Amino acid sequence: MIATNIDNGLDQALKERFAKLPKVVQDAIMSADVEKHMRELAETHKLHLDQWQTLENEVMLALLGVQKAEDLEKNIKSEVGVPNDIAKALTENISKIVFEPIRAELERELEHPEAKAAEVSGVEAARAQVLGENAPATPAVAPATPPAEPPTQKVERAPVSTAYKGGETSAVRVAVADDPYREPPA
């Protein structure tokens, strides 16, 4: 009975913390991409299922702000139970695939002077336009490149080898000096 109350209290606290997060972070937490990338990391570093789940929990706690992101490497080492080098590699990969995209999106939203424009593919632009979302200023379909001009000169063939005689096999030829396909005998 006590465990149920603790679980409900923790669940409620996490829901409240989630509601206070910026939309970008909420989207990242709910994204299937994060889970997919985390699973790929677990496979790359040969983590067991329970280690992978613990790793994912540590990342989510850092995203929710329950634990400091600076302590992620230390927490991965102690909670997941991996050596220092693997904890460091995991932390670097998580930073690249989880935290950096969130940071870039937050900078774009806050109009940070160093923020980079969001990369939108032609397909995403068309999807946004069809769905009526904030369509980018660029057109969904880029203008086509005009075809190349047809050639105006005729191609000249190289002169036929003087060593070549019709009906004779190349193995029989003695003079191979100007035959581009054979080396002269040594």
pLDDT in tens, 14-64: 788 878 877 777 777 777 677 788 888 888 888 888 888 888 888 888 877
* Mean pLDDT calculated for residue range 103-126: 66
Q: Give a yes or no: residue 137 inside a domain.
A: no
Cα 102 versus chain centre, distance: 14
**Does 83 score more than 50 pLDDT?**
yes
* pLDDT, position 2: 43
**Does 3 score more than 50 pLDDT?**
no
The Cα 25–Cα 63 span in angstroms is 7
What is the token pair recorded at 123? Answer: 């397909």
* pLDDT, position 134: 52
Q: Give a yes or no: residue 174 inside a domain.
A: no
Q: Give a yes or no: residue 102 inside a domain.
A: yes
Number of domains in the chain: 1
* pLDDT, position 87: 87
Q: Give residue 62's domain range.
A: 2-131
Question: What's the whole-model pTM score?
Answer: 0.51
What is the token pair recorded at 183? Answer: 């080396």
Distant-in-sequence, close-in-space partners of 176: CB < 8 Å, separation ≥ 6:
163, 182, 183, 184, 185
| pLDDT, averaged across the chain | 75
pLDDT in tens, 152-168: 888 888 777 776 777 77
Which of 118, 81, 7 lies closest to 15, judged by CA? 7
Long-range contacts of 29-35 (CB under 8 A, 24+ apart): 29/60, 29/63, 29/64, 34/59, 34/97, 34/98
Higher pLDDT, 69 or 136: 69
Q: Give a yes or no: residue 90 inside a domain.
A: yes
Q: Give a yes or no: residue 26 inside a domain.
A: yes
Give the amino acid at 113: P
**Does 184 score more than 80 pLDDT?**
no
Distant-in-sequence, close-in-space partners of 62: CB < 8 Å, separation ≥ 6:
68, 69, 71, 72, 75
Q: Give a yes or no: residue 146 inside a domain.
A: no
